[in-house]
Amino acid sequence: MKYLLVLAVVMVAFYVWRNNRLADRDQAARQKPPPARTNTPAIMVACQQCGTHLPQTEAVRGSQGHYCSAEHRRLRED
């Protein structure tokens, strides 16, 4: 009889532990924000001197267009 009581207590403890663990995981999944979109396309421009394509954010802006480096801007605009 004593072993049945110990087994019942262990089973109840396991059941409570398992349900709490599942509830915590569900709550964490609900609180997590959706992933930020990082695959946005970049605007590509061509260098006026050599024709190399590069993102507009990395390009050097000159009076005649975009360049891949300050050296190419200097060569083209002088």
pLDDT tens digits for range 57-71: 999 999 999 999 999
Q: Which residue has the higher pLDDT, 74 or 36?
A: 74
Written as one string, the DSSP assignment of 2-71 is HHHHHHHHHHHHHHHHHHHHHHHHHHHHHHSPPPPP--PPPPEEE-TTT--EEEGGGSEEETTEEESSHH
At 21, is the pLDDT very low, low, confident or very high (cuts 50, 70, 90)?
confident
